[in-house]
Amino acid sequence: MNEYLPGLEGVPATQSNISAIDGEKGILAYRGYPIEQLAAHSTFEETSLLLLDGQLPTAEGLADFNSNLRRNSRVKYHIRDLMKTFPSSGHPMEMLQTSVASLGMFYLGNECLTGGDSCKDLDYIHNMTVKIIARMSSLVAMWQHIRSGYDPIEPRNDLGYAENFLYMLTGKEPDPLLARIMDVCLILHAEHTINASTFAVLVNASTLASPNSVIAAAIGALSGPLHGGANQKVLEMLAEIGSADKVEAYVDTKLKNKEVIWGMGHREYKTKDPRAVILQGLMNQLIEKRGGNVNPMFEVAKEVERVCEERLGQKGVYANVDFYSGILYSEMGIPADQFTAIFAIARSAGWLAHWREQLKDNRIFRPTQVYSGEPPRDYIDMDNR
């Protein structure tokens, strides 16, 4: 195949059985299970095991996984001291990429990835998977305190993953509804086929790079505003609009100038992102819990979605997962620059599932190109240029 397709759109990069999307019908499934069912009945820990192992765990298997996550959630003081040297203005995603990449220097055990057969060490692969997922939330929560000049809050062994993250982030045991909302958000963001950051996982994994390096590369890809950074951009956009009565003029101006309307449209979906539907429902639950108090930004968001659906629905452009996640996190008191880092916490499960899948039948990525440069020519001496 010599045809160049920008962004490799529609070009299969791998064969996978981890997740599937039907963009026409708005369906997302992990290992065959609809995302709506997992969001309603599962937990992030159980969903992570489903993604990693291919099946829902037994009660004993889930309890063991939970125990391992809690046992590995603390990080060495060397990492904390390293983070203290970062500028307090540093973005959480840059902190996370740097910290995850550095984990391999303080936690040995990458030496088995040295050749074709070495990647079949299942104990190593499982242990590294647990350690990375466990430490992702700790690093993000630690940075919230360190950048403000305080020591981080230690994780607790009696809390679930989402609940523990909120506890480490705020220093307070979270309201059960907020903990459940965070749990669902992590499930929704855990996996989404071969997107940009997951493709970065595949490429790096194919070289037998260490798993910390693989995940650091994925974090870098996720940080861009065209990928995971869009949820923060949505909130900035809503603040810029200010009120619902200004939405139509704003949207029309953006469309006229062919500018991005953040949180609208998705490469895969031609209808509303099923994750956005669930997130909007969670926002409604939170509003009901708070006696009907509505963040003005939520009203602006609903109006943006209405106007965009009216203007762009016939083109298959609808709200995506980023559109409501930022508003929801904001209502939970989470700083806007942490939104994408939370996305990374969740997506670590999917990334590591793809890392494991790549290692099972590994071949280093080496795509070709369509050359569009100069034809062969002779070197010209400096005096004759």
pLDDT mean over 56-73: 96
From CA 339, how far away is CA 322, in angstroms rounded? 10
Residue 46's contacts (CB-CB under 8 Å, 6 or more residues apart) are 56, 57, 62
| Catalytic choice (183, 192, 273, 322) | 322
**How do strand 27-30 and strand 33-34 relate by DSSP bridges?**
antiparallel
From CA 48, how far away is CA 351, in angstroms rounded? 10
Structural domain count of the chain: 2
Q: Answer whether residue 5 is part of any domain.
A: no
- 61/96 same-domain check: yes
Of the candidates 49, 67, 64, which has an alpha carbon nearest to the alpha carbon of residue 158? 67
* CATH number where 73 lies: 1.10.580.10
pLDDT (tens digit per residue) in 278-299: 999 998 898 888 887 777 888 8
Angle at 252 between CA 249 and CA 254, to 5 degrees: 110
Residue 192 catalytic?
no
- Beta-bridge partners for 54: none
User: How far does the chain reach from its first CA to its final CA, in angstroms?
Assistant: 38
Residue 145 catalytic?
no
Read off the tokens for 9.
């759109």
Q: Which residue has the higher pLDDT, 297 or 140?
A: 140
- 263/290 same-domain check: yes
- 220/235 same-domain check: no
Residue 163 belongs to what domain range? 31-224+344-360
pLDDT (tens digit per residue) in 196-230: 999 999 999 999 898 999 999 999 999 988 888 78
What element of type H or E holds 22? strand 19-22
The CA distances from residue 209 to 40, 312, 314, in Å, are 36, 42, 44
pLDDT band at 232 (very low <50, low <70, confident <90, very high): confident
Q: What is the DSSP annotation of 113-150?
A: -SSTTGGG-HHHHHHHHHHHHHHHHHHHHHHHHHTTT-
pLDDT at 170 over 60: yes
- 197/272 same-domain check: no
- 159/186 same-domain check: yes
From CA 73, how far away is CA 180, in angstroms rounded? 20
Angle at 334 between CA 291 and CA 176, to 5 degrees: 50
Angle of helix 339-360 relative to helix 92-106, nearest 10 degrees, comes to 40
Q: How many CB atoms lie within 10 A of CB 9?
A: 7
Could you tell me what percent of the chain has a pLDDT over 90? Answer: 71
Read off the tokens for 114.
């040295």
Q: Answer whether residue 3 is part of any domain.
A: no
What is the pTM for the complete model shown? 0.92
Residues across the chain = 385
pLDDT band at 1 (very low <50, low <70, confident <90, very high): low
Q: Answer whether residue 205 is part of any domain.
A: yes
DSSP three-state, residue 12? coil
Q: Which residue has the higher pLDDT, 71 or 120?
A: 71
* CATH number where 308 lies: 1.10.230.10
| Catalytic choice (192, 266, 273, 354) | 266
The CA distances from residue 32 to 17, 39, 278, 279, 369, in Å, are 9, 14, 18, 21, 35
pLDDT at 126: 87
Given a contact cutoff of 8 angstroms between Cβ atoms, the answer to whether 94 and 139 are in contact is no
